[in-house]
Amino acid sequence: MNALDRLRDDSAVARLWARDGSLFSSDPAVAADAGGWLGWVGLADRASRWAEALSDASAAVVSLGITDVVLLGMGGSSLAPLVLSSVIGSGPGYPSLHVLDTTSPYTVLRTLERLTPRTTLVVVSSKSGGTIEPNSLYAVLCEWAETELGTGAGSHFVAITDPGSSLEALADEQGFAAVFHGEPDVGGRFSALTAFGLVPASLIGIDIARLARSAMDIESAVREPGSDNPAAKLAAWMVDALEAGRDKLTFVASKDLAPFGLWVEQLVAESTGKDGTGLVPVLDDAPGDGEAYGEDRMVLIMRGPGDETLASLAGRLPAGTPVFEVVVDDPHDVAGEFVRWEHAVALAGHLMGIHPFDQPAVGGAKEATTAILAGTLAAPEPTLHVGGIRVTCVVPGREASEFSSLASALDGLLDGAGPGDYLALLAYLPEERSLLGPLAGGLAAVSAARRLACCLEIGPRYLHSTGQLHKAGPAVGRFLMVTTRNEPVIHVPGRAFTLEELIRAQAEGDFVTLAERGLRIVRVDLPEPAHAPVMLLAETLRGAAIG
C-alpha cells in the first residue's frame, strides 16, 4: 500500500486537524507531548488578524526615521524572516532587514560598521528567551546602541518571545519599545506565521494581509482528506521515496526562490532526523549534471513560471528519480508554501512513526558548548599541522598518525563513501561568497566524481537546523568542519567570553558530540577567515574528489 493510501486509511488529515497527538505515537505520554505542539494547525486564519496592527507598527517605524532593522535570532526565530526578506524584499521607503543568526565576530563587526544606532531598530527574537546566541548578540548591540543613545537605547529594541520568558522580563526592565508574543503551543520551526515571522516582515513593509491570503488558500486545500490534498501528496511522495531507499531530499530552486530552502532544511531535518532515520535535505540551487545524482536522491523542484532550465530538469535526471514540482507564481505565495510544508512534514512524521515536534539531540551540542566555555570539556588536540592550518582527524578504525597531510586527511574522511552516504561541510566562516564559493565548488566536485550527496552548512546556524539530523538521523554522514582563528575580539558585556571564544566553543562542542557518536569527522582550523587558506582547502577537496 502506498503512503497516500495509508494516510487515507489512517484518517491522518482529519486527526491532524483535530490535534490528535495519537497520530504520532501510541504511547500516551508521547502522544500528549506531540498534541501539545499542534498550535500551528489553522494558524493562517489567525495570521490574517495580525495585518492591521502590524501595518500600524511598521508605519510608526518609518515615521521615526528607522532605515535598518537588525534581527537577532536562531533557527525558527530567524529563518522565516530571512526567507521573506530575501524572496519578497522590503517595501518602498521601508527599512532593510539584516539577520544576525551567527556569532561570527567578523560578520557582527561588518554589520555594525554599516549601521547607525539612531536609525536602527533591533529585534531580539527567542521563543524561550534563553538562547545563547541572541542573548549574547543583544548584550553586544545594547552596548553599541548606548554609545550614541545613552539610557534611551532601549526604545530602539523590540522583543519577540513567548509570554513570561526571561526575554520579556529583560525587555520590561530595559524599556524596549514593544514586546510581541509567540504562540506557546507552536514550536520554533513551525512558527513562520506567528509573530516570529510576521513582525520582522511587517517592519520592512511586506504586506501581511497578502501573505495571509496565500496561506489561507493553501490551508483550505490541506484540510481536504482526498488525494488532491497538496500536503498529503508531498508527504506521501517523500515517504514513498524514503521507503524505496531514497532519503536525500534534494531541493532545487529558481535563484529568487532559493532562500526558501534554508527554511525547508530546518523543518525537514529537525522534524524527521531522529531514531536513526530521517530525510536528509540537500540544497542545490544551481544543479549541474543530473547524472551526478545517485540512487539515494529524490528531487523537489521549486521554480518560477518562467524558469525554463528547471522546467526541463526532470527530463535530465537519471531514470526512476522521484520528482515533485512546485511552481510559485507570486513571491508572496511562499506563505502558502510554509503551510504546505508544515502539514506535509507532520503527515510524513506519522507515516515514519516518529514524533516530529521534538529535537532530542540538539541539547547535547549546547551542553558541550557550555562545558567548553566553562573549561570542563576540551576538544581533541590537532593531530596534524600544515603551515598555519591545524587538522584534527577522528576516523573510526584509523589512527590519527596515519594522516600526514591535509590531502590524506580528506582522503580518510571520504574513504569507502558509497551509495547512501553524505558529506556535510560545517563552515564556521563569515557568510561571504569569496569564502563559501570555493568550498561549494569543492563539494560540487566531490558530488560529481563520487555521486555523493554533499551539503554546505553554516555554523552555528546549522546547530539549530540540520544538527539534529547529523547526530540522531541515519548514521551515514561524514563531516568536514572548518573553523578559523584570529577573528576580531568582541567582548560580550556581562559574560566571561568573547564572541570568538563562543563561536569556537560551539564548533568544538559539536565536534565532540559528533565524534562521541562514532561518526567520521575532520576539523580544519584555518589561521584566519581569508581567501588564501580557504582556496588551499578547496583545491585539496577537489583533489580528494577523484581519490
Residue 72 has φ and ψ, to the nearest 5°, of -105, 110
- pLDDT for position 45: 84
Calculate the CA 143 to chain-centre distance: 28
The Cβ of residue 143 has, within 10 Å, a number of other Cβ atoms equal to 15
124 contact partners, CB below 8 Å, separation of at least 6: 72, 73, 134, 138, 157, 158, 159, 160, 161, 167, 171, 176
Q: How confident is the model at residue 108 (pLDDT cuts 50, 70, 90)?
A: very high
What b/e sequence results for 33-68 when a residue is b if at least 16 CB atoms lie within 10 Å of its CB, and e otherwise?
A: bbbebbbbbebbeebbebbeebeebbeebbeeebbb
Domain limits of the chain? Answer: 3-25+224-352, 43-213, 362-545
The fold for domain 362-545 equals: Rossmann fold (3.40.50)
Tell me the mean pLDDT in the region 202-214.
95
Is residue 7 predicted with pLDDT exceeding 60? yes
Task: Using DSSP bridges, classify how beta strands 384-386 and 389-394 pair: parallel, antiparallel or unpaired.
Answer: antiparallel
* Whole-number pLDDT of residue 199: 96
Output the CA angle 300-306-309, nearest 5 degrees.
55
Q: What percent of the chain has pLDDT over 70?
A: 99
Q: Which residues contact 329 (CB under 8 A, 6 or more apart)?
A: 304, 305
CATH number, domain 43-213:
3.40.50.10490
pLDDT of residue 297: 96
Q: Decide if 117 contacts 145 (C-beta within 8 A).
A: yes
Confidence of residue 241 (pLDDT cuts 50, 70, 90): very high
For 411-454, the pLDDT digits (tens) are: 999 999 988 999 999 999 999 999 999 999 999 999 989 999 99
| pLDDT tens-digit series, residues 8-62 | 999 999 999 999 999 999 999 999 999 999 999 999 988 888 887 888 888 888 8
* Distant-in-sequence contacts of 21-29, Cβ < 8 A, 24+ apart: 23/350, 24/349, 24/350, 24/354, 24/355, 24/356, 24/357, 25/355
Q: For domain 3-25+224-352, is the CATH number 3.40.50.10490?
A: yes
Q: Give the CA distances from residue 436 to residues 92, 289, 428, 441, 533, in Å, rounded to whole numbers and listed in that order.
A: 31, 21, 10, 9, 12
Which residue type is seen at 74?
M
- The chain-wide mean pLDDT, for the chain, equals 95
- Two domains, one topology: 3-25+224-352 and 43-213: yes
326 forms bridges with which residues in the sheet?
A: 302
Amino acid, res. 336:
G
pLDDT of residue 286: 60
Asked if residues 473 and 280 have their Cβ atoms less than 8 Å apart, the reply is yes
Record the cell numbers describing residue 104, joined without a space: 561570527
Give the least confident one: 171-175, 441-445, 542-546: 542-546
pLDDT digits (tens, 9 = 90+) for 463-516: 999 999 999 999 999 999 999 999 899 999 999 999 999 999 999 999 999 999
pLDDT bracket for residue 287 (50, 70, 90): low
pTM for this prediction: 0.96
**Span of 66-80, 240-254, 363-377 with lowest mean pLDDT:** 363-377
Query: Distances from the Cα of 440 to the Cαs of 212, 424, 536, in angstroms?
Result: 36, 11, 13
Distance CA 212, CA 209 (A): 5
Cβ distance 507 to 514 under 8 Å? no
The pLDDT tens digits of the residues spanning 256-281 come to 999 999 999 999 999 999 999 999 99
Q: Is 289 a residue whose pLDDT tops 70?
A: no
pLDDT of residue 501: 97
Side-by-side strand order, sheet with 120-125:
96-100, 68-72, 120-125, 157-161, 178-181
**Amino acid letter for position 392:** T
The percent of residues above 90 in pLDDT, for the chain, comes to 89
End-to-end CA distance of the chain: 42
- How far is CA 380 from each of CA 377, 385, 412, 459, 534, rounded to the nearest angstrom? 10, 14, 18, 19, 22
Looking at the predicted structure, is the pLDDT value of residue 285 above 70? no
d(CA 421, CA 294): 10
What pLDDT sits at residue 288? 59
What is the amino acid identity at position 526?
Answer: L
Nearest-10 crossing angle of helices 208-221, 230-243: 70
Q: How far apart are CA 425 and CA 256, in angstroms?
A: 24
Across residues 198-221, what is the average pLDDT? 96
What whole-number distance in Å separates Cα of residue 57 and Cα of residue 147?
A: 26
pLDDT (0 to 100) of residue 508: 97
Residue of 531, 530, 460 whose CA lies nearest to 502 = 460
Q: Which three cell numbers stand for residue 515?
A: 565524534
